[in-house]
Amino acid sequence: SRSRGGRFDDLVLLAVSQLEPRWEDELSAIEFAVEEIPPAEPDPDKGDLVPLARLEHAVRTDDGDRPARIVLYRRPLMARADGDEELAELVLDVIVEEFAHLLGVDPQTVDPSYPGDD
């Protein structure tokens, strides 16, 4: 049996694999990571919201290029979900949102099944 962290990592890999058929080239240039919690206190300008993920854009340096990264925060995501199925959906939605932001497109462009603001 896998640890809770290992199962969460599996959900991240599953979410990325769901997007790969349509976005394989773009996804190959992105690193995905999981951290337990955000590195700092919530931004007071954003209210009391705890971030679920962060996006780091690609950077060119003298030492070489650093690829774009999407970092998911395991504990805040797990706290927002009721059960494994809801957690899997939430992880996919957060990855879709961050990836869409990186591409400069609407999340529904990335994943047509992404829930809209209806």
Question: What would the pLDDT profile of 66-91 be if each residue is shown by its tens digit?
Answer: 999 999 999 999 999 999 999 999 99
Question: What would the pLDDT profile of 11-26 be if each residue is shown by its tens digit?
Answer: 999 999 999 999 999 9
| 8 Å CB contact between 72 and 47 | no
E strands within the chain?
A: 30-35, 53-56, 59-61, 64-66, 68-73
